[in-house]
């Protein structure tokens, strides 16, 4: 085996958290290598709806806890990033700077809307019926606008990764051995690579569990929350927002224009390649893993039609996919209130929990970093680099709705 690569930091995992850490640490002068065993953003980041949550989702019960406040502060930081401050993300595709928040006409819907208005620092603003977009025709409850930004996650991955392509490696970590002054890591790539890093950062999402096992890191455990996201494709309006009912979001919808290779565009659906795709989560995603394919299709499309009665889904395509949210263990299985970042024996384990928190965690890593002791590295050209993962609708199997 060749001599080990000596670096300050090895990052395991190439999603948003790992790439933000790579970008921030290299910008601060550290020598950093990122290793990804699949493709950049595969799993949680590219399946994200791209919402930079401003806290509304976490305050529907009427009380803005630490998670809502933290999300609101992080969302403000993102606005600065997208405007060019610090990490220059001006070329990231911003799909909207404003979402809608609407409710059903039930009492539960009214209670949830009241909670959101009372709790948020940046409060939603009510709009008159005449100013509502046409796709909200038929909604019986109140409609608000919310200063909540939605980005294209794949565009984010591209902007973060492109300047650092020579510091990324595609490969599988096979061993992690903490030592007195560094951590030795073996990676199986096109050939075996040995790395000695003063610090290892685990940002591999669901893969963190295996990495924690390899490194024997104590007091770190993971939970998994299975979700099933729905997608609707067709001649649809661009929709961004949340339909709420009580303390829950019945559906959360973001939109983008369909784009895929020619052999994918017509698979199971004959619409044009410039169709709009609705990416739908919320409570239906929480309920979906317990259902079969047909049951979930009927349930999801029924909920979407009830929440957005002014839009017909006739002749649209439907697809869904399963994704597992990897998070720190909470004991009760519920979503953690904040991001997780813990360092033990030169190994830091990170689950950001929300996309909006990834740059905040990266900034903290820079603040805690020791002065660099190794020069910046350039990997040998024979070692493979990871590519960007596709968005879910680009590879989905579509069924026609009639």
Lowest-pLDDT choice from 24-38, 144-158, 210-224: 210-224
Q: Give the number of domains in the chain.
A: 1
Domain assignment present for residue 285? The answer is: yes
Q: At 176, which helix (H) or strand (E)?
A: strand 172-178
Domain assignment present for residue 313? The answer is: yes
Q: Which of 267, 241, 246 lies closest to 127 in space, CA to CA?
A: 241
CATH code of the domain containing 137 = 3.30.9
As a whole number of angstroms, the distance between CA 305 and CA 292 comes to 20
Give me the residues paired with residue 399 across strands: 318
Q: Summarize pLDDT for 73-131 with one digit per residue, the tens.
A: 777 778 778 887 666 788 999 999 999 999 876 655 554 555 555 555 567 888 988 99
- pLDDT greater at residue 334 or residue 141: 141
In which band, very low, low, confident or very high, does the pLDDT at 269 lie, cut at 50, 70 and 90? very low
Domain assignment present for residue 47? The answer is: no
What stretches of 216-315 show up as alpha helix (H) in DSSP?
Answer: 262-265, 283-287, 293-307
Domain assignment present for residue 379? The answer is: no
pLDDT of residue 55: 59
**CB hemisphere CA count around 135 (13 angstroms):** 20
**CB hemisphere CA count around 237 (13 angstroms):** 12
pTM, 2 dp: 0.89
**Proportion of the chain above pLDDT 70, given as a percent:** 86
Helix (H, G, I), strand (E, B) or coil at 167: helix
pLDDT of residue 262: 44
Give me the chain's average pLDDT, please. 87
Domain assignment present for residue 255? The answer is: yes
Domain assignment present for residue 14? The answer is: no
- pLDDT greater at residue 354 or residue 13: 13
Query: What's the residue count for the chain?
Result: 402
Domain assignment present for residue 137? The answer is: yes
- Average pLDDT (42-64) is 73
Domain assignment present for residue 291? The answer is: yes
Q: Summarize pLDDT for 197-252 with one digit per residue, the tens.
A: 999 999 999 999 999 999 988 878 899 999 999 999 999 999 999 998 877 899 99
> Domain range holding 114?
98-149+225-325+392-400
């Amino acid at each position: 085996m060749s001599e080990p690569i000596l670096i300050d930091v090895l990052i395991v995992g190439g999603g948003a958290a790992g790439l933000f850490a790579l970008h921030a640490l290299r910008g601060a002068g550290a020598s950093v290598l990122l290793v990804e065993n699949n493709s950049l953003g595969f799993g949680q980041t590219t399946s994200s709806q791209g919402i930079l949550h401003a806290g509304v989702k976490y305050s529907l019960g009427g009380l803005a806890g630490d998670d809502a406040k933290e999300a609101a502060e992080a969302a403000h930081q993102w606005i600065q990033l997208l405007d060019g401050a610090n990490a220059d993300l001006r070329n990231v595709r911003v799909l909207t700077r404003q979402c809608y928040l609407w409710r059903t006409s039930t009492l539960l819907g009214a209670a949830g809307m009241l909670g959101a208005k009372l709790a948020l620092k940046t409060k939603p603003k009510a709009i008159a019926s005449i100013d509502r977009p046409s796709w909200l025709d038929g909604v019986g409850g109140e409609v608000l606008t919310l200063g909540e930004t939605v980005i294209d996650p794949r565009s984010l991955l591209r902007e973060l990764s492109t300047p650092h392509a020579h510091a990324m490696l595609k490969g599988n970590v096979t061993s992690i051995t903490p030592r007195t002054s560094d951590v030795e890591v073996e990676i199986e790539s096109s050939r075996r690579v040995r790395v000695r890093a003063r610090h290892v950062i685990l940002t591999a999402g669901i893969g963190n569990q295996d990495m924690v096992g390899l490194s024997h890191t104590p007091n770190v455990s993971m939970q998994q929350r299975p979700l099933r996201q729905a997608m609707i494709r067709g001649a649809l309006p661009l929709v961004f927002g949340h339909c709420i009912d009580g303390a829950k979001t019945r559906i959360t919808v973001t939109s983008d224009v369909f784009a895929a290779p020619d052999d994918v565009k017509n698979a199971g659906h004959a619409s044009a390649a410039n169709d709009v795709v609705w990416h739908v989560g919320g409570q239906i995603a929480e309920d979906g893993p317990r259902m079969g394919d047909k049951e979930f299709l009927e349930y999801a499309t029924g909920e979407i039609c009830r929440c957005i009665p002014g839009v017909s889904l006739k002749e649209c395509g439907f697809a869904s996919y399963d994704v597992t949210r990897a998070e720190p263990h909470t004991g009760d299985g519920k979503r953690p209130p904040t991001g997780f970042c813990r360092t033990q024996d030169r190994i830091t384990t990170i689950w950001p929990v929300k996309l909006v928190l990834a740059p905040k965690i990266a900034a903290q890593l820079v603040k805690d970093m020791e002065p660099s002791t190794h020069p910046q590295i350039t990997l040998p050209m024979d070692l493979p680099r990871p590519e960007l993962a596709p968005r879910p609708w680009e590879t989905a199997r579509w069924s026609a709705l009639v």
